Amino acid sequence: MSKNFLYKVSGSLIVIIAVVFWILSLTIPEQFGAFSLAWAGVVICGGIGIILMINGIFQKNITTIKKLKIWFGVGLIICAFLCLISAITIPDSLVLPIIALVVSVGFLITILATGGKKWDEGDNQKVGYKNYFERKKEEENQNNIETIEQKEEDKK
């Protein structure tokens, strides 16, 4: 089993558990009445956001994809926080500072996970790299040499 498979299965299980509890809150309100759609949103967005952040941190992939997964995770955690605001009463003065805290922590995690690189080092930054025009010129020179050698052999 691959790690990617485990991330997908755990994300699916989080969604299934949240939906089951939401259905139970509608059918048996005496026992599960406190679990509402807002709490389901908190569980789903928060759980999948954390999974995406963990996947982005520990993934051995290109830097851009790592950053993208981490930022999608941060976005989902912010959505979970907004669902939490509607589930419980949080003072309005705390909403923006907490969102700013989540974004800044996501920024820090992105820097730590990627080692501060903006993007992966491409071939053009490696020693001995030849761009398209240099390769074509070298190929033409090689073809010219082969053509000259064939002409000399034909003369013999």
Would you state the structure tokens that stand for residue 49, as one six-digit string?
Answer: 């956001």
pLDDT at 126 over 70: no
pLDDT at 119: 56
Residue at 67: amino acid letter: K
Q: Tell me what the mean pLDDT of segment 23-40 comes to.
A: 86
Domain ranges of the chain: 3-120, 121-156
Residue at 66: amino acid letter: K
Cα–Cα distance between 43 and 9 in angstroms, integer? 15
Threshold 0.75, pTM exceeds: no
User: What is the DSSP-derived secondary structure letter of residue 127?
Assistant: T
